[in-house]
Amino acid sequence: MSIVSDTPANAVSTPPLERSEPAELTVLGACPQDCPDSCAMVVTVSDGVATSVSGSKSMPYTNGGLCVKVDNYLDKVYSPDRLLYPMKRSGPKGSGQFEQISWDEAIATIAEKFTAVSAEFGPEAIMPCNYLGTQGITQGLNVGDAFFNRLGATVAERTYCDAGSCTAYAMTVGDTAGVDPESFVHSKFILIWASNVMSTNLHLWPYIAEAKKRGAKVVVVDPVKTRTAKAASQYIPIRPGTDGALALAMMNVIIAEGLTDDAYIADHTIGYDELVERVAGYTPEWAADETGIPVDDIYTLAREYAQSQPSVIRIGVAIERSAGGGQSVRAISCLPALVGAWRRPGGGLLQLPLWAFPVNWPAFLHTELQTPGTRVVNLYQLGEALTGGLELDPPLKALMVYNSNPVVVCPDQDRMIAGLSREDLFTVVSDHFLTDTATYADIVLPATTQLEQDDINFSWGHLFVTYNNKSIEPRGESIPNSELFRRLAAAMGFTEPAFTRTDEELIAEAYDWESPAMEGITIESLKEKGWQRLNLPAPDEYAPHAEGNFKTPSGKTEFVSSAAAGGNFVLPLFRQGSNDHQPGQPVDPLPHYIAPRESTRTNPALAEKFPLNLLTPKSHAYLNSSFGNIEVHRKVQREPSLLINPVDAEARGIESGAQVRVFNERGEFVVLAKVDKSVMAGVTVCSMGYWRKNSLSLSTPASLNPTVFADLGNAPTFSDTLVEVALVEGVLA
Ligand SMILES: Nc1nc2c(c(=O)[nH]1)N[C@H]1C(S)=C(S)[C@@H](COP(=O)(O)OP(=O)(O)OC[C@H]3O[C@@H](n4cnc5c(=O)[nH]c(N)nc54)[C@H](O)[C@@H]3O)O[C@H]1N2
Ligand SMILES: Nc1nc2c(c(=O)[nH]1)N[C@H]1C(S)=C(S)[C@@H](COP(=O)(O)OP(=O)(O)OC[C@H]3O[C@@H](n4cnc5c(=O)[nH]c(N)nc54)[C@H](O)[C@@H]3O)O[C@H]1N2
Ligand SMILES: [Mo]
């Protein structure tokens, strides 16, 4: 165990403390959650028991505070409901009846079953389902990739989050980290576009607040007046999925009124003349009609954005979740170059700074173990895949879920449940708890939490590497994901070096340590300090694209995208590194508008039956579905509810607190109504993340979401969902 105190990163290192009685130790950890903030944590341990977790005071971005979710992390670690032993099913599928077995029996059962399925149907009848339950490089996204690639299993395309946005962003500016969030303090105009920063990116807020204090204007564009919108200088409500119209109209105004930075455009962009021609048709008047935003507000937004330099845009993940979500991000990504925002620290775009981290992805993706041509199935279509909707040959006969809870996070919940209920499907789930998905497993395996394992992190919200020192011994017989796959590989007879690496060896391979970004950073220094900033210019001086240097093929912001010629694509990271690039539909190389698929305006026939648009954003107190079972988090989050505008509520005789049924042709769920004008008329909101087994109707919003992809990167279309809402007759207990 590496034990160090929370000293500033540049302090002289001290030798690990000797354990003495009474034994209270301070261990430097790192938050494992799938969140842009990736906090540096401090864990106190007394006699082998963790007694507190707190945010590192020395780490600038964490700044001494955690969030409501991870402040209570010990409730999760020591929960009486933790899975502590492997179990096998002892009742009907989904009954939740299990009996304890040994690890030897569990591993042998899985190996036998995988071998038998593979022999009878071929290995593609087996499929993994995983994401970022834990985000560390060694225990997270790629921990099982070597195993499933070697097995020849169906490749899981994991476009859970930001894949469409990333395709659009990469087409425009390349895979660049973009604006350093710490340099937001220098921004004069901050446009928060589809991001509820105060709930989902809390540690960015102090930088925004500081900029505001220094005179910056902060504008939020969202269909909901969120807590973030309430704290902004201006809130602009927008119809879901119409963001592209607003961005294109902003470009129209900026160009028509000569608010462009012509020198920047000449030196660092391609395709300007074509862009000018393209956006001429996207007038503010047209956009006002499309978005529901008053035309004067569009003019003002465009002018202020262009003229208050440096201006910065924070794009939230939700923007990708409509039919034209990709093109919305394309259009937004063009804006900073048009006005020369990239010239100064604090100007440009913040999307996903993950790209700054020189993670050694090949050492974890292990595409060399993949059989070329192996079938790829997108996890958002798992319900269909399990129930014959995708016509798979061979059909799926075995599923292994780890780091994910597909029943709650994937669309099409009813078919997911039908699929998981199949008697002929062998399902393994590794998790901390008996989740809605684990309840349907044949074999359940106990996983360690972050306090019980070592790991090393990247971040997709800031520029610091964090290191997690293990602080306590695993509870029960829980094991890290890495150990699970070592055991499974051994049982399957896989002998390649990829399958015998210890956790220490995995951590040693996590980064390209020779990369200039890692200068001054070693495993030893990380273990001791807990966190270190990548070797990049200081935030006060850092303007990564002041001189262009975009990561596109041309090195410029590509108004006309050269990558579009290859058709729609999914970045390798999201398709389990599949070497099997499947180009999608051809893509218009210029940004353009694609209206939502399910809206009263584009689909009046559907809207006649289901006139309201359902949004399912993140909850405040859960992390996706993680913590959805923990009492203290449930208290903070309160009962699942549906936010509905008074106009829509009144028309349906709905009052706050009433049970309402939310439904469409795909399914239904029941929650309590919350009538409030913070949501625009025509739109309703139910946060995702609460558990199906804790719901009134044994269903959650996922049962209503479509499995159709957005235009780019196979992104989901959660925000592109029409529903109707009705009072429940009688009351469900
Ligand atoms: N508390 C908490 N924090 C989290 C998470 C969590 O579950 N809980 N999850 C983490 C993860 S995995 C992610 S990806 C991030 C995501 O964090 P965000 O990017 O903030 O994503 P969401 O909360 O889904 O949606 C943000 C806002 O977008 C709005 N929105 C929805 N559709 C549209 C639209 O079409 N246009 C516009 N303009 N706005 C729209 C919603 O009303 C919502 O207020 O948060 C991370 N942090
Ligand atoms: N309707 C709707 N659906 C959405 C979204 C939305 O906004 N609306 N957002 C989408 C987004 S952005 C994302 S990122 C996905 C998130 O989808 P997921 O990554 O599936 O997120 P979680 O629901 O938190 O599920 C993670 C599971 O992993 C488990 N876990 C945690 N640590 C470990 C570990 O070390 N080992 C193992 N074996 N298990 C572990 C947790 O207990 C939890 O059950 O959801 C997507 N789904
Ligand atoms: Mo996400």
- Signed CA dihedral, 186, 190, 195, 200: sign only: positive
Q: What's the CA-to-centroid distance between 623 and ligand 3, angstroms?
A: 9
**Cβ(633) – ligand 1 distance below 6 Å:** no
Q: Which of 171, 67, 193, 236 is nearest to 554 (CA)?
A: 171
For residue 720, the CA-to-ligand 1 centroid distance in Å is 14
Ligand 1 close to Cβ of residue 453 (< 6 A): no
The CA distance from 455 to 470, in Å, is 8
157 C-beta closer than 6 A to ligand 1? no
Nearest C-alpha to atom 20 of ligand 2 is from which residue? 404
Is the Cβ atom of 719 under 6 angstroms away from ligand 1?
yes
The residue behind tokens 């930001």 is 162
Q: How many CA atoms lie within 13 A of 558 on its CB side?
A: 23
Among the residue ranges 397-406, 570-579, 722-731, the one predicted with the least confidence is 570-579
Cβ burial 9-23 (10 Å sphere, 16+ → b, else e): beeeeeeeeeeeeee
CA distance linking residue 503 with residue 212, whole number of Å: 44
To the nearest whole number, what is the mean pLDDT of the chain?
A: 95
Q: What is the pLDDT of residues 626-645, one digit of tens each?
A: 999 999 999 999 999 999 99
d(CA 700, CA 687): 9
Q: What's the whole-number mean pLDDT along residues 69-79?
A: 97
What pLDDT, on the 0 to 100 scale, is given for residue 578? 73
Nearest to 480 by CA among 451, 505, 438: 451
Judge if the beta carbon of residue 320 lies within 6 A of ligand 2. Answer: no
For atom 35 of ligand 2, the residue with the nearest CA is 134
Q: Which residues of the chain does CATH 2.40.40.20 include?
A: 604-727
463 half-sphere exposure, CB direction, 13 A CA radius: 21
DSSP 327-362: HHHHHHHHHHHHTTGGGSTT-EEES-GGGGS-B-TH
pLDDT value for 252: 98
Length of the chain (residues): 733
CA distance 623 to 716: 18
DSSP 447: B
C-alpha–C-alpha distance, residues 677 and 643, integer Å: 9
> Which pair of tokens denotes residue 66?
């955690």
Amino acid at 2: S
CA of 596 to the centre of ligand 2 (A): 26
If you ran DSSP here, which 8-state letter would residue 396 be given? Answer: P
Predicted local distance difference test score (pLDDT) of residue 732: 67
- 3-class DSSP state of 154: coil
pLDDT at 64 over 50: yes
Cα 377 from Cα 125, distance rounded (Å): 11
Taking residues 18-37, report their average pLDDT: 84
Q: How confident is the model over 162-181, as pLDDT tens digits?
A: 999 999 999 999 999 999 99
Residue type, position 548, single letter:
G
Q: Is the pLDDT of residue 409 over 60?
A: yes
Q: Is the pLDDT of residue 3 over 70?
A: no
Protein residue whose Cα sits closest to atom 8 of ligand 2:
616
**Tens-place pLDDT, residues 654-677:** 999 999 999 999 999 999 999 999
Using the atom order of ligand 2, give the atom closest to the CA of residue 408.
Answer: 23
Give the DSSP H or E segment for 547. Answer: none
pLDDT band at 350 (very low <50, low <70, confident <90, very high): very high
Instruction: Report the nearest-CA residue for atom 14 of ligand 2.
Output: 161
Is the pLDDT at 4 greater than 90? The verdict is: no
Q: pLDDT category, 583, cuts 50, 70, 90? A: low
pLDDT band with cut points at 50, 70 and 90 for residue 12: very low
Tell me how far the alpha carbon of residue 328 lies from the centroid of ligand 2, in angstroms: 25
Q: Is the CB of 238 under 6 A from ligand 1?
A: yes
Cβ contact 282:593 at 8 Å: yes
How far, in Å, is the centroid of ligand 3 from the Cα of 396?
Answer: 26
Ligand 1 pocket, residue 720 CB under 6 Å = no
Binned at pLDDT 50, 70 and 90, residue 582 comes out as low
With a pLDDT cut of 70, the percent of the chain lying above it is: 96
pLDDT at 488 over 90: yes
Protein residue closest via CA to atom 19 of ligand 1: 316
In the chain, CATH 3.40.228.10 sits at 167-355
Q: Is the beta carbon of 430 within 6 A of some atom in ligand 2?
A: yes
5 pLDDT exceeds 70? no
Q: What is the pLDDT of residues 444-478, one digit of tens each?
A: 999 999 999 999 999 999 999 999 999 999 999 99
Pocket flag, ligand 2, residue 705 (CB < 6 Å): yes
Asked if residue 718 has its Cβ within 6 Å of ligand 2, the reply is yes
pLDDT of residue 99: 98
Rounded to whole angstroms, the Cα distance separating 138 from 329 reads 30
CB within 5 A of ion ligand 3: which residues? 161
Query: In the predicted model, what is the mean pLDDT of residues 205-233?
Result: 98
Ligand nearest, relative to CA of residue 323:
1
pLDDT of residue 228: 98
Indicate if ligand 1 lies below 6 Å from the C-beta of 324: no
403 in contact with ligand 2, CB cutoff 6 A: yes
- CA dist list (Å): 705 to 92, 698, 721: 28, 16, 6
Q: Of all protein residues, whose CA lies closest to atom 4 belonging to ligand 2?
A: 409
Q: Indicate the top mutation candidate among 131, 201, 222, 619 to test ligand 1's pocket, ranked by most ligand atoms within 8 A of CB.
A: 222
Q: Whose CA is nearest to atom 28 of ligand 1?
A: 194
Q: Could you tell me if residue 174 is left (phi over 0), alpha (psi between -120 and 50 degrees) or otherwise beta? A: left
Q: Cis bond leading into 310, ω under 30°? A: yes
**C-beta of 641 in contact with ligand 2 (< 6 A):** no
**Is the minimum distance from the CB of 132 to ligand 2 under 6 angstroms?**
yes
- Residue 479 above 50 pLDDT? yes
Pairing of strands 722-727, 269-270: unpaired
Distance CA(171)–CA(526), nearest Å, equals: 34
Let me know if 115 is exposed, middle or buried by CB neighbors in 10 A (0-12, 13-18, 19+): middle
* H or E, element range at 122: none
> For residue 394, is the peptide bond before it cis, meaning its omega torsion is within 30 degrees of 0?
yes
Rg (CA), the chain: 25
pLDDT of 21 over the 70 cut: no
Kindly tell me if the per-residue pLDDT of 572 is higher than 90: no
Which CATH architecture describes the domain 167-355? 3-Layer(aba) Sandwich (3.40)
Q: What is the pLDDT of residues 268-309, one digit of tens each?
A: 999 999 999 999 999 999 999 999 999 999 999 999 999 999
Selection from 142, 183, 533 nearest residue 349 by Cα: 183
The listed CATH number (3.40.50.1820, 2.40.40.20, 3.40.50.800, 3.40.50.10470) that belongs to domain 604-727: 2.40.40.20
Is 702 a pocket residue for ligand 2 (Cβ < 6 Å)?
yes
